[in-house]
Amino acid sequence: MADDNGLGVTAGLQCDIELNLSGPNSATINKWVADALRRLADRIERDELDTGFHDVPDNVGKKIGEIYLDHYGSTED
């Protein structure tokens, strides 16, 4: 992987997501999960989430899970 910061360190990211939902049918749950993942992707892309655990809300703000991010760097050998 290329060094994009000029310091000999390659950026890395560990991302773990756990969501727990129930609903009227699989199609509805799938849509809710996809919506939550799109919102998370937007927040990650905008660099709004630091290293650590963060609640994942549904579209009305109720917690439906958690995301863990670990931003790290490794030196090239």
The total of other beta-carbon atoms located within 10 Å of residue 39's CB is: 14
Q: Per 3-state DSSP, what percentage of the chain is helix, strand, and coil (rounded to 5)?
A: 25, 40, 35
Per-domain residue ranges of the chain: 10-75
Residue 47's DSSP bridge partners are none
> How far is Cα 29 from Cα 52, in angstroms, rounded to an integer?
26
The band of 8, judged by pLDDT with boundaries at 50, 70 and 90, is confident
pLDDT of residue 60: 93
- Predicted TM-score of the model (pTM): 0.79
What is residue 5's predicted lDDT score, i.e. its pLDDT? 59
